Structure 1
Amino acid sequence: MSVVPSPSSDLPESDTDRRHSLEEFVAATDQQDRGEGFFELERDRLLEVNLGDGGEEVWMKAGAMVAYTGRIGFEREGMLEHGFGKFLKKAFSGEGAKMTRATGRGRLYLADQGKKVTVLYLKGESLFVNGNDMLAFEPTLEWDINLMRSLGAIAGGGLFNVRFAGRGMLAITTHYDPLTLRVEPGGPPVFTDPQATIAWSGNLEPQFKTDVQLKTLLGRGSGESIQMQFAAGRSPGFVVVQPYEERAMPAGAR
């Protein structure tokens, strides 16, 4: 009569046991200090903000904090903190534009629904970013909300975007890997789905092209009845898209 041996901690440790041990898991997922500066990509989908000894601060998307170490305080943006003009714009732009200021000393970890994080350093350039896709930025950057009041913008889910300019770090998010399309002077315009459009260079002013047909009104449209059109003037530009159609968050959904 054969006896099946029962599992025991006294048995020799196999390669599989070592690969899946708790010790290996902690080592593989442990926080790493790469010394990349104020913004550091801890993972593709996780941003580390290093707040130093001087009481540094960062503006971030409300609700983006997942963890922190040290002494960091959080303050929701005041209604009139950035002026009455921005307050009026934010009244139309909904929840997606709300921001939080983090101040103090320590390490702050930010993420947004598991989206991929890209860190950009603006050296005097300007960039428009869809309001849903802004994660964090340095206070050295100038910013303003740009409302797109056309029917195309509203129906496409991209009611507002944020224009950044100056010098400083900016973190944006995308579903999967982004794709950048060049827009050349004298070349053909670039058309994009508003729900897939992440950002574009500050020298471009998108127009909206609509193709409203009877089948669209009956709910049988292809989903491409509204497009953003980008055309370059005297200088080239670019537009960034993602392989995902992102729906705007309704007010009060966060």
Structure 2
Amino acid sequence: MNNQRYSIQEFVQQTKQKDKHQGIFELETPRFLEVNLNGQIWAKMGTMVAYHGEIKFEREGILEHGFGRLFKKAFTGEGTPLMKATGKGKLYLAEQGKKISILSLQHDALFVNGNNLLSFEPSIHWDIKLMRKIAGMVAGGLFNVRLEGNGLVAITTYYEPLTLIVTPDSPVFTDPNATVAWSGSLQPDFATDISFKTFLGRGSGESIQMKFVGEGFVVVQPLEEAYFSEEPSKS
């Protein structure tokens, strides 16, 4: 019996890293981001799985981005701790087997749920945004990260993402726990469906909806994920 197709050599050949020469961010696989580092990038803490070369990792400094963002993090317990990777080499990032998408911002703005932000170039300006209108409706989920400028951003989703187009005559409603990102031109509002909430007998989930009106897009994933938690929702 010929088991050559199960040999270690074949396994190594099929799974070994391959240079694609696509720039600083490459999708080595749909769930591994390869960073061809020659300088610096920001990445979510805990997402480094391997690297080679001379790379130094530093946790985001307490005053790295000024007192305003420090206050928001301290006051809210916002859950997007960052690390700075500096040096030269190849860095591999992944998070819980999530699918990775690379987005090129070109004078664009994008909001990303902190759970879904993986990495971005230092040329990107970012800030934590308080979603005031949802306060008191759900535990957590009050904050997202606004990214703006020129550069690459890597986001993650559970399974395949779906992008919904928003137009003035066609608003989009989403479950907050399935909402991944949206274009910077949109300002979501929040609404509660009291009758549906009563029917379900629970105080979260589909009874609270994000409403997007205007011109832009919204990215959702096919799994409800509690904002800024470490594990996907089991509900």
Output the TM-score relative to the length of structure 1: 0.85
C-alpha deviations, 1:99-129, integer Å up to 9, x for none?
Answer: 0000011100000111000001101011111
Alpha carbons of structure 1 residues 215 and 142: separation in structure 2 relative to 1, 3 Å: closer
Please list, as runs of the form range in 1=range in 2, the aligned pairs for 1:90-109 lying within 5 A after superposition.
Answer: 90-94=73-77, 96-109=79-92
Structure 1 counterpart of 2:26, from 36, 40, 43: 40
Q: Could you tell me which residue of structure 2 aligns to residue 27 of structure 1?
A: 13
Q: Is contact 2:80–2:228 with CA below 8 Å preserved after alignment?
A: no
| SS in structure 1 at match of 2:108 | strand
| Root-mean-square deviation over aligned CA pairs | 2.1
Q: Could you tell me which residue of structure 1 aligns to residue 185 of structure 2?
A: 203
Output the TM-score relative to the length of structure 2: 0.91
Alpha-carbon distance in 1 for matches of 2:222, 2:14: 29
| SS in structure 2 at match of 1:155 | coil
Q: Is contact 1:153–1:208 with CA below 8 Å preserved after alignment?
A: no
Gaps of 5+ in 2: 231-235
Q: Could you tell me which residue of structure 2 aligns to residue 10 of structure 1?
A: none
Alpha carbons of structure 1 residues 147 and 222: separation in structure 2 relative to 1, 3 Å: closer
Alpha-carbon distance in 2 for matches of 1:214, 1:184: 26
The answer to whether structure 1 residue 135 and structure 2 residue 111 are counterparts is: no
Alpha carbons of structure 1 residues 183 and 250: separation in structure 2 relative to 1, 3 Å: closer
Aligned residue-pair number = 230
Structure 2 counterpart of 1:223, from 194, 197, 205: 205
Q: Could you tell me which residue of structure 2 aligns to residue 120 of structure 1?
A: 103
Residue 250 (structure 1) shift: 4.9
C-alpha deviations, 1:36-64, integer Å up to 9, x for none?
Answer: 10001111000000112xxx000000111
Q: Could you tell me which residue of structure 2 aligns to residue 238 of structure 1?
A: 217
Give, as a single letter, the amino acid of the residue that structure 2 aligns with 1:243. Answer: P
Q: Is contact 1:58–1:101 with CA below 8 Å preserved after alignment?
A: yes
Q: Could you tell me which residue of structure 1 aligns to residue 133 of structure 2?
A: 150
Alpha-carbon distance in 1 for matches of 2:43, 2:60: 10
C-alpha deviations, 1:1-56, integer Å up to 9, x for none?
Answer: xxxxxxxxxxxx51xx111111111111000000010001111000000112xxx0
Identical columns (%)? 59
Give, as a single letter, the amino acid of the residue that structure 2 aligns with 1:212. Answer: I
Q: Is contact 1:93–1:147 with CA below 8 Å preserved after alignment?
A: no
| SS in structure 2 at match of 1:25 | helix
Alpha carbons of structure 1 residues 106 and 214: separation in structure 2 relative to 1, 3 Å: closer
Structure 2 counterpart of 1:51, from 37, 41, 46: 37
Alpha carbons of structure 1 residues 215 and 224: separation in structure 2 relative to 1, 3 Å: closer
| SS in structure 1 at match of 2:10 | helix
C-alpha deviations, 1:103-158, integer Å up to 9, x for none?
Answer: 01110000011100000110101111111100000000111110113346861742
Runs of 4+ in 1 over 4 A off after TM superposition: none
